[in-house]
Structures are given as structure tokens and as C-alpha cells.
Structure 1
Amino acid sequence: MSFGRARFIFGFLVAPIVLYAVYVLYPYGQTAYYSVTDFSGFSPDYSYVGFGNYVELFSDDVFLRALGHNVVVLTVYPVVTILLALFFAFMLNVGGRGDKAGVRGVRGSSVYKFIFFFPQVLSIAIVAVIWRRVFQSNDGGMINSLLMKLGLVDKDKPLLFLAESDSVFPPIHIGNFVFEAPVVLVCLILIAIWGGVGFYLILFSAAMQSIPKDIFEAATLDGATRVQTFFRVTLPLLREHVSVAWVYLGIAALDFYALVVGMTPGPGGGGPNDASQVMSSYMMSNAFRPARFDSFAFACAMGVSIAILTLLFAAAQLRITRSRDKLEF
């Protein structure tokens, strides 16, 4: 019986494991191998160069600038998305008036949830088309057109938005690293927040609905305000969900490829003048639009570096979460 069960389990697992090894693990290993060679992507002749690509990578000004952009996105995008999702989820589920039946959610909350979630059903291509029209840097753009009609913007000098490379705050230089927030990158972050809030609103709403309403009613009877209820009751009970959301949003912030390529100028996105360049877009530009013939191995080194940074971020976040749980226990 034991042997038959093992054979049955093995029969179901062997195909997924083989497919995962062939289409996921093997490409990862191949990328790591090519990253320590001078493989051009075209010629089958290449040689081992050790960590030369990695040394060159962290002396490349564009890559360091792209890394700084990813850090800015990682700092802003997850925090704002989670805060907005928590606020709207709390208001929709516990923001209604209390009565004899207890604390109620806002009337029509299901409609609001659908509206917030709607961006999730749109493909990135549709999102790019919509927001390019909104941020268009002439009188055909929705924002520029509105501001011109209000007399706040001169018709001959429209706001550039996606074509603006100036930073919204003075760049911060730490060694060779540059941390800045160009206007075009801020626009992309706002779009990402618009698209992400709805999903995490639904996630947090489902978690809030699993909390017994008696807890909220007891807090209300004890005289707690809605703000106190949120910080003292709701937020502690949602800590695990917030941690999961932080990991997912952090991984998305370290990627950020689709919006950059779909919305910014340049052959592979990242424009103007690399103002919206992130690590993933720069990697793809080097791999498939090479500025030099030996850049494929250089791009592989970028891919390995991005993977390591992503794993370190996820591990650090999970470690912090577990440490807090142990301290509270």
C-alpha cells in the first residue's frame, strides 16, 4: 500500500518537476553561467572571464542610476499602495454607521470594490494607451488640456510629464549611486499605485471580513474612535496580510519593466535620457538591443544581480516579520 501510494504521488509530481527544471531552473543556471563569460549572444565561441561582468556592472553609470530608480520605486510604491488599500478597505468594511445590528460597512461597498478592482482586468497595453493619452505633453493630453482651459498652463508651454527628465527633488549621491525621482518616474509610480490599490483592497477586505464583528463592537462600546479601532484592532490582526502584500509589491518594484517599456520613450523604454531607466529595462536593452556585441553576458550579469537583490529583499522582509512575531509572543 505504501509503495503504491508513493508511485501514485511520484506519477503526479514527475511531470511538473521535469517541466519546472527544464523551463525554469535550467534557464536560471544557463544565465548564471553566461554571466561569467564573454558570450555575445551571436557567436558560439566564448570564454570564461570570471566576475569581470559584475565588476563592470557596478561601475556602469546607467545601471547605477537605474538601481537608484528602483530604490525610489521600492521606497514609495509599496508604502503608498498598502496605506491606500488599508484605508479604503477599512472605510468600506467598517466605515458605515453603527446601529442595533452592529458596525456596518459603507452602503454599496461591493460596487466600490468593483470600481477599485477594475484596473486589474486591464492589460498593460491598454493601461499604457490610456495613461499616455492622459499625460500627453500637448493640448491633446487630458491633464494639459484641462489646465490650459483653466488658464494654469500656457498652450505654448505644456507640461511634459513622460518626457520630463528633471528630478522632483535634488539627486542624492552616495558614492557612485545616484538616488533621484525624475518626473517621468513619478508618473509611472502613480500609474502603478492606481493599478495596484484595487487588488490589495480586496485582499485586505477579505481579511477584515474574517475578523469577528464582536471585536469591533466591543471597541466601539469601550469608546474607541474609528482611528483608534484601526490602529489598535484592525492593523495588528492584518499584519501577516500586510507582510505578504509588502513582499509582492517589493518584487514588483524591483521589476517595474512593463510600465517603463510600455510608456516611456526610447527603443527599449527608459527615456528620456535614461530618466525612467530601471534595472530590468536596462537589462533587456543590453540583451536584445545591444550597444556593443558583447553585451549579452553583461545583461546576464544584470539578471543574476536582480534575482539576488529580489531574494535578499524577500528574505529580509520575512525575517523581520518572523522576528516581530517572536517578540510579541
Structure 2
Amino acid sequence: MTFTKTLAGTAAALALTAGAALADPALIFDLGGKFDKSFNEAAFNGAQRWVQETGGSYKELEMQSEAQREQALRRLAETGANPIVMTGFAFGEVLDKVAPDYPDTRFAIIDAVVDQPNVRSVIFSEHQGSYLVGMMAAMASKTATVGFVGGMDIPLIRKFACGYAQGVKAVNAEARVVINMTGTTPAAWADPVKGAELARSQISQGADVIYAAAGSTGLGVLQAAADENILSIGVDSNQNHLHPGKVLTSMIKRVDNTVHDAFVAGTDLETGTFVADLAGDGVGYALDEHNAALVTEEMKTAVDTAAEQIKSGEIEVHDYMSDNTCPAATF
């Protein structure tokens, strides 16, 4: 994968796995668990690909509460794990504090920028991938009303929603985009019941395609959409297979490549801030046997053309995080 460089509780409750080699890499999953079928699982898949290729071993740790972040990170560093990769913006403040205490350890963080000499920060152009699936939603919708269910209401998730809305409006300027966030605390990432409730509420308002960017909460959105016989859009990992013929597509975020590449680099991991964008295959949409019947040739041609225009700069997708505004939607 190509990157575009920019200038820009108690740990005892957690399980450390893998071998005892001093320089084993490590991966810390954010809340929601490594088998969330979304963001964390994408990271896990990248680590597993490295294991299959190298026969190596790594340590892994699943967060159980916010209070565990610092102690867990220090515990791994003290075991000699190197590099240590963590998923999620919520590690940012803790890593900024911990990294200077372990100058010989390389760290990688996904979805946050930590300005320390031994840290690799990887952020994604989620707005670009979301624009593409927004176009697909608008083209598939029969009601001209589509939905978005986010997890925790933070600028990063608004970035997804804003790009999605812009893509929808590019196809149908009169289309309505219903946006709901699950909550304002990290619990919002792991509440599929609430996700299903929000999806059903949006369906009652006419939405017939709903995009979920909410961690394991999104599983409830996809389930409710399938139950109500409308289409959904998955996120991060390819979620098309969860409800074949009911998931229009998934906005893929190549977190797996980020973890895999960090493990391959090992202690030679290049530090600094990197952006994984559409041009570098950092984001995109999923097309496979599970959704092929849903994606028309017209839809694919339109979206692929837009993707090339985004890469060339002909189409500029607004990044909510650049100015905390969204011209295409209201929050």
C-alpha cells in the first residue's frame, strides 16, 4: 500500500498472547473487541496476514475500559514489544505521554496524530471513500432518502458522514440524508441494540439505504436493515458477506495494511505522519459475489469515474476535520 506523507483499568484483566521473543510486535485493540467485524477486526486481519507470511508471533491486547489505556501501553512496552500498534484516536493523548518514556520503542497509532519522534501516525481519507458509497446509496435509493448511523459523535465520524452526504448530493441534489450518532461516550462503539433502533427510526422516515460507521454498533444497523428489507452499507472491513444481497457495499478502510506494514517494518518502522487516501488504496468500496447483483454497471462506472476525479483533484471532497463544517449536511 502506498501512503502519501503529509507535513502535517488494570492490565491484569487483559490477555497478552503470543511468544516471548524480546522484539515481538504488539497490537492493542480499541473498545469493541478484535472480532467486531469492522475496525478492530481489520487490524487483526493485518496482523494475521503477517503471521502467515513470516511464521512470527505477536502480542495482542483487548481493551476492556478507558481506564486501562495507559497501564496497558506501558505493560507492553516494558515486555520489550516493538513496534506497538494501537487502533483508535482514543489512544492519542496516552501515547503522547507514554512514548517519550520508551525512546527505543517504535509506536504506530491509527486515526490520530501524535507528534513524537518514535511514533508513526496513520490517518485515513475516510471522506473520500464515504463519498463513493454515498453516490452508490443515492443511485440505489428509490425514496431519495438515505441514512447514516455513526458511533461516537466525534469529528472523525462526522468526517465519514460529511463525505457520504456530499456523494449522495452529487447524484441527487434533492436527496435527504438522515444522520444520527449513537452516543457521546466510547460505549457508542459497542451497542448494536441502539444501532438497530436508530436504523429502524431512519427507515420510518423513508430511508431505504443506511450507512453505518459505528464499530460493532453497526452490526445492529446492518441486521435491522436486512430485517426490514432495505439496503445497508458496511464500513472498515468488507461486511458484504454478513447479509448477502442486502449490503449494497462496504467502505473499506485498509487498517489491515497499516498493521501488516508496521509489523513487516519492525524496529525499522518509519515514523512521522502518513495519510492513507484513495490514490494510495487506503480507502475504497467493496465489490464481490455478495453484492454484485446490487451494483449495476451504471453505478460502478459512475463511482469509478468519480474515484479517478478525486485522485486527480478534479473532485474535492470536503474534509469535515479541516474546519469542522459540512456543506452537504447538518449535524
| TM score, norm. by length of structure 2 | 0.23
* Larger strand share, 1 or 2: 2
Per chain length, whose mean CA-contact separation is higher, i.e. which structure has more relative contact order (CA < 8 Å, sep 6+)? Answer: 1
* Larger helix share, 1 or 2: 1
Q: Which has the larger radius of gyration?
A: 1
